[in-house]
Every structure is written in structure tokens, then in C-alpha cells.
Amino acid sequence: MPDGLVRIFPSPATIAGLDVAAIAGLGIQPRRAEAIRALARAIVDGHLALEPRAPVEATVAALRAIPGIGDWTAQYIAMRALCWPDAFPAGDLAVLRALQARTPAQARERARAWQPWRAYAVMNLWASIGENP
């Protein structure tokens, strides 16, 4: 371990091997703890690769198929882990507020012109909300 580094994030195999109660014991709701463990298991089993070269549509679909992972989480993972520039968590409350949209469908419609760069727009929307709460 490099000097000064005192903690590292556990590997997917470590997380997949934990009891849900052990994950929940960290202050995570049991349903989310199960989703975290299922996500780790999918990675360990080779059913899911969270890396920039992963096929976006198939990966987002595989993420959504995990109980407890919805569109917001799948889009956020696509944005961050897959480096997908068109990821768009349309149900994000800050995105909805910044776009003055009532529904995710309305947000998607308002963001259509930003394709294929909606992830960059999302980051700007988040920053705009942070600056002007």
C-alpha cells in the first residue's frame, strides 16, 4: 500500500461475499445493501463489466435488471464508470428542478437537443443548482 494510504475500497468479490446484514450494518438500507451485493456478484460472475469500453445499452439494461437499481442509478453508473457522454439521469431531482420539468419524460424531451452530450449538460445543471439553490 502506498505511503499515506490507509484504506482501500473492497473488491467486488469481497462485497459479493458479505451478508446483507454486514452491508446494512454500515448504515445502508437492507434493500440497497442487497442491490450492492447483487451488483458485486454480477461483476464477479462476469455478467457485468463497469469500464469505459463496455457496451452501453447492454450494460444499462443489465444494471436495471438488478433488483433495487433503477434508471437513475443505471444512468449515473453509465456516466461515471462507462464514461458515456450521453448518459442522462432524467429522474434526478436536481435535473428536474433545473429544467423546470415535472416528469423524467419531460426532462428527456427538454434535453433531446443536447444529444449525444447530455452527461455534460447534467453536470452543468447540477452545478447551476449548487450555485443558486
Q: Which of the residues are catalytic?
A: 92
Distance separating alpha carbons of residues 120 and 26, to the nearest angstrom: 32
**Residue 79 amino acid letter:** M
Coil/strand/helix, residue 2: coil
What is the C-alpha end-to-end distance of the chain, expressed in Å?
41
Contact status, residue 57 vs residue 45, Cβ threshold 8 Å: no
